Structure formats: C-alpha cells, structure tokens
C-alpha cells in the first residue's frame, strides 16, 4: 500500500466506521489478533475487545464521533491526531450518564500490513475525559 492508501484506510475506519457506527468497516480493516496499546485509555488484546470498546463508547455517548485534524504516514505506520466528541448519555467507565458534552484530544499510531491494521498505539487524556464527567 502507498502512504496515501494507508491514510485513506485510517480515515475510512474513523469516519465511515466509528463516526457512522458501522463496525463492519472495523471488522474488514483490522486483523483478528489486532493489539491496541493504550496510554490514557485501556489496551486491547484482540479485535473483538477493540470493537467492544468502540461499541461501548457509542452506547455511552450520543453523537460519538472522531474529528480528524491530521493524518500522516511513513513506512508501515499511520499517525492520526483527532478529537473525540460526544454527549454522555449512558454509563461510561463506572460514571453514570451526566448529559455533558465532552471532548478528548488524542493521537493514534497504526501499523498496517497487507492492507489491514495489525497494531495500534493510542495516546489520550483518559483522566481528562473522566474529569469532564465528574467535575
């Protein structure tokens, strides 16, 4: 894949998969043994865990979406800087619904092989998100 193809893959995952709550895009774009290393968010040891986490975000936040600010690619890695947006309408990480609108800036680095994401590293302010819900 070219750098442009890999950037399009990540854009497709975030906008057409997560933002439209179409998990079939995620299933088609990741390998089953996908591993997500989390810094400020939980790590995941499989694609099934990753999809469960994404689905939980949709269940807890109305209008859950990623706003992409920048995507760059080099070698087999795609980096994306984005902001999560949503309205907290369901339990999330033990916090009951607050009705608050939240944002959380993040960055992710995805390794791509044979047209699919095989590994990810997400750096995010998880504590800041919880603070938005509990302060």
* Domains held by the chain: number: 1
**pLDDT tens per residue across span 46-77:** 999 999 999 999 999 999 999 999 999 999 99
Residues 6+ apart with CB under 8 A from 44: 34, 35, 36, 38, 50, 53
CA distance 105 to 61: 16
**pLDDT tens per residue across span 71-103:** 999 999 999 999 999 999 999 888 999 999 999
Q: Is the pTM of this model over 0.85?
A: yes
Q: What is the CATH number of the domain that holds 8?
A: 3.10.450.50
Domain that holds residue 27: 3-134
Q: Is 21 left (phi over 0), alpha (psi -120 to 50) or beta?
A: left
């Amino acid at each position: 894949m070219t750098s442009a193809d890999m950037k399009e893959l990540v854009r497709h995952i975030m906008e057409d998969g997560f933002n439209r709550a179409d998990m079939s895009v995620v299933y088609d774009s990741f390998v089953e043994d996908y591993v997500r290393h989390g810094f400020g968010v939980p790590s995941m040891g499989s694609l099934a865990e990753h999809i469960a986490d994404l689905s939980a975000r949709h269940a807890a936040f109305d209008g859950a979406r990623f706003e992409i600010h920048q995507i760059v690619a080099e070698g087999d890695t795609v980096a994306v800087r984005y902001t999560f947006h949503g309205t907290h309408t369901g339990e999330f990480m033990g916090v009951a619904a607050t009705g608050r609108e939240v944002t959380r800036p993040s960055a992710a680095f995805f390794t791509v092989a044979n047209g699919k994401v095989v590994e990810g590293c997400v750096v995010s302010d998880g504590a800041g998100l919880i603070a938005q819900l509990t302060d």
